[in-house]
Structure 1
Amino acid sequence: MPLTTETGHGRAHDREILRLAIPAFGALVAEPLFLLTDSVIVGHLPDPALGALGVASAALSALVGLCVFLAYATTAAVARRRGAGDVRQAMRQGMDGLWLAAIIGLAVSVACWPLAPFIVHLFGATGQLAAQAVTYLRISLLGTPGMLLVLAGTGVLRGLQDTRTPLAVSVASFGLNGLLNIWFVLGLGWGIAGSAWGTVVAQSLAAATYLALVVRTARAHGASLLPDLAGVRAAGAAGFALVVRTACLQAVLLVATSLATRMGDDQIGAHTIAARIWTFLAFALDAIAIAGQAITGRALGAGDAAGARAATRRMVMWGIGCGVVFCAAVLLARPLVPALFDAHAEAAAELLAVLWPVALLQPIAGVVFVLDGVLIGAGDQRYLAWAGLWTTLAYLPFAAVAGTLVALWLALGVWMAARLVTLALRAYGTAWMVTGASRTAA
């Protein structure tokens, strides 16, 4: 291939990656801002309201986090059908994803409502703290169907190569959530219950917006709005493997937090700050992964395996580049971080030490996030589930013997390296490059 042609293709890939990734990053950042806004407003209430919010939000985030497959699997399925030129069937699969989200959301709400005190107790909450946490959690559970419909609706639009609309919906929901929380909590004096109701209303309206958009598109292409039981079961089966993958990710992070807590107050304080920095940078890398899901699914659906391979190479380059930039940014900001978070001397020393592995792991994370997104877009969820189990097992022995916070983050580095190896080996091969409108049929 002539150099000018290859360069032209690379630039085309760059434009498409940026077109999808930049709005996706904005939408991803908007999500944690919900919790940040709630924390700022609830912080004006007497203790232990803020602690109760933290406990209930952690429980709710864990529940909803396991259902992120509703966005990822739906993106891959819709993108593949769209790439094959069958938009009607793409919307049919999108509707199946929405029905599955509604079913799971209702089931989670009904099942967890009576279990709310037990769930809160698992986080060690007692007394008034536990009572307020149960109040917040139970009200928030009413919005679970809406939260999951937002995930599925986002997946449908991403599969259609539209990441701008989810950004607009996220920004609008964030703004509405803030206004409602101020009104309900401070204006009407509903306390922590008002914060929960504000978020439920905002999320439910976002879900209604996605429903309207997806239903309108489905009707325009002649897709049925009724549930297809076979399609819903297929979506659930594809999602189960992603649940295993996500559970492994959460298990690693929970183990790290638990071990840091046992090391002492300074260590858990430094770990929490480092984890927040890591999470924020992960949003940017995950935005490229989301672009990878959409681009890979569409290319393979169109039968363009070579295009999927070329786009993967380009996205890996973007991942490495972003990782190097983030590494440099963390190292440059490192002396300023302790003061920014008002860390005292002992915690600051721990934080300054642990920011070294946080920074140096960024280039590896860039490749890992991109390849993870590519394989999700290819519908290679079963491999990702098994890889998640093996990499978690590789991490646990190193975490168990970590006696310092730096050693614990080096154990996380072992985990990231194991993920890099398993994902790179798979991406280098061809088993994931199944073309056609349906991976199963192919």
Structure 2
Amino acid sequence: MNKKILHLALPNIVSNVTIPLLGLVDLALMGHLKSDIYIGAVSLGTVLFNFIYWGFSFLRMSTSGFTAQTYGEKNQQESFNILARAILISTLISLLIILFQVPVEWLSFKAINGSAEVETLAREYFRIRVWAAPATLGLYALNGWFLGMQNARYPMITSILANVFNIAFSFVFVVFMKMNSAGVALGTVIAQYLGLATGLYLFYRKYRQLTTFWNWKVIIDLPALKNFFRVNSDIFIRTFCVIGVFTFFTSKSASMDDHILAVNSILIQFLLFFSFFIDGFAFAGEAMAGRYLGEKSKSQFYLLTRKLFLWGAALAVAFSFLFLFGNGLILRLLTNQTALIETAQHYQFWIILTPVLTFASFIWDGIYIGATASREMRNSMLGATLLVFVPAYYFLHESIGNHALWLAMMLFMLARGAFQTVLFPKVLRKSFR
């Protein structure tokens, strides 16, 4: 079992780690400019696209879960149908985003507050990066399908290439062409389309025989689409809560001042960096849980859960020690601004606690996605957001300021894992009844 987990987890970790490295490079490029408004602009612009794109990350999650189950059932035709439906829906959504980009921009900047200088740069970032929508959402669907087919190598290849291209283009645009935050946005657009082209080529190379199953009437079959949208609507609500929490975190940081926004933007990278490592095991959980559900193997499903939590706990302890002894060096890599580093050190104990408090929520997400237990995921997230995160911040922010944001975030992540632990017996019964 451990060998199977690592076979899927390690490629996912390699591909995932390029994502926070991209964010770190972007922040480092901005952090070494003369003003911290560039960090704030990229942070606001990024959180807006997190809000938009993460809201549609159900395209990856549900595609992965459904495909893994059909893989376990050895139903190749339905596996292809799932990919076709996901690509169709991702294309329609991305076209709507581009078509309605003006009202989307207006609503987005109504929701997030920043200084006039930061907002001007963030709007420029938005107007460039929005053109990457078809590629970004297409990659969600394609990589989710690859993972459901127990193929973690192809998402690794597409992610590495896309993010290496992104880093290279951003570096050229910012350092040599002096485009500042706009250069980061343009680099992202070009790299996303190159990543999608790579993914489509890999699909054609290994899976082109599945295209013989193409049947338009089957692809748009109403009962199948209804089930697809039912699961997706639950995951959308779940993801909307995650986005809402992170957007709230950034917005409240910005409302304090540009300095705190820059500090929190840097510190949140520690959480994101850990999340992409632990998500390697969560993604393995998606693929394997769905497969064992398709094979109707309850014993393997339960064993998988135990093994994933052992791996998750070990990784969490390792990262807590890394953040304890290495946070100063990491901060200096992210920025050379002494004032930002000094302020960040006042909040470093939250960073040290982050891995231990959050790993369970990531592992459970992977298992629940593989089992397409979308309703339980949704309810857990709603409870953590409305019953824990929001009250924690509003009860404490006047007395402890920015610490209230970090405490609320940690309690939110801890509550997600706790609620999902309580609901797991129900998921197990429903999955194998």
Whether these two folds match at TM > 0.5 is yes
How far 1:285 moved relative to its partner?
Answer: 1.1
1:77 touches 1:159 (CA, 8 Å); kept in 2?
Answer: yes
Which amino acid is 2:155 matched to? P
Q: How does 1:43-442 map to 2 (within 5 A)?
A: 52-113=41-102, 115-117=104-106, 119-120=108-109, 122-124=111-113, 130=119, 132-181=121-170, 195-214=184-203, 219-221=208-210, 222-224=212-214, 226=216, 227-230=219-222, 231-260=224-253, 268=261, 270-333=263-326, 344=338, 348=342, 351-352=344-345, 354-395=347-388, 396-402=390-396, 403-404=399-400, 405-431=402-428, 434-435=431-432
Structure ID, larger Rg: 1
Contact 2:15 2:155 in 1 (8 A): yes
In the alignment, the residues of structure 2 paired with residue 202 and residue 312 of structure 1 have an alpha-carbon distance, to the nearest angstrom, of 36
**How far apart are the structure 2 equivalents of 1:359 and 1:63?**
30
Assess, with a 3 A threshold, how the Cα gap between structure 1 residues 244 and 329 changes in structure 2: closer, same or farther: same
Q: Deviation per CA, 1:191-250, whole angstroms, max 9, x where unpaired?
A: 765554442222112213323433565541332174425344433332111111111122
Q: CA deviation at 1:164?
A: 1.4
CA drift of 1:155 comes to 0.2
Q: Residue 323 and residue 237 in structure 1: after superposition, are their counterparts in 2 closer, same or farther (change >3 A)?
A: same
- Are the equivalent residues in 1 in contact too, given 2:113–2:251 (CA < 8 A)? no
CA 1:353–1:33 in 2, change beyond 3 Å: closer, same or farther?
Answer: closer
Q: Normalization by structure 1: what TM-score? A: 0.83
Greater relative contact order (CA < 8 Å, ≥ 6 in sequence): 2
1:43 Cα deviation after fit: 7.6
| 115 and 160 in structure 1: CA distance in 2 versus 1, 3 angstrom threshold | closer
Q: Would the aligned equivalents of 2:42 and 2:181 in 1 still touch at CA under 8 Å? A: yes
Aligned-pair distance for 1:303? 0.9
Kindly indicate whether the alpha-carbon contact (under 8 Å) linking 1:184 and 1:194 is maintained by their aligned counterparts in 2: yes
Report the 3-state secondary structure (helix = DSSP H, G, I; strand = E; otherwise coil) of the residue aligned with 2:372. Answer: coil
Measure the CA separation in 2 of the matches of 1:344 and 1:193: 25
The alignment-based identity, stated in percent, is 25
**SS of residue in 2 equivalent to 1:143:** helix
Q: 1:181 to 1:418 in 2, by over 3 A?
A: closer
Contact 1:321/1:363, CA 8 A, preserved across alignment:
no
RMSD (Å), alpha carbons? 3.3
Deviation at 1:15, TM superposition (A): 1.2
Q: Which residue is 1:30 aligned to?
A: 18
Deviation per CA, 1:89-146: give whole Å up to 9, x if none: 1122122111111111111111124543553465446767655543432232222011
Provide the C-alpha distance between the structure 1 equivalents of 2:179 and 2:250, rounded to a whole number of angstroms.
Answer: 33
Displacement after TM superposition at 1:58 (Å): 2.7
Task: List alignment gaps of at least 5 residues for structure 2.
Answer: none
Q: Is the 8 A contact 1:215 1:225 kept in 2?
A: no
How far residue 83 of structure 1 moved from its aligned partner, in angstroms, is 0.7
Distance 1:269 1:285 in 2: 25
Q: Distance in 1 between matches of 2:177 and 2:338?
A: 38
- How many residues align? The count is 423
Contact 1:21 1:288 in 2 (8 A): yes
More helix by share: 2
Structure-2 change in CA distance of 1:235 and 1:216 (3 Å): farther
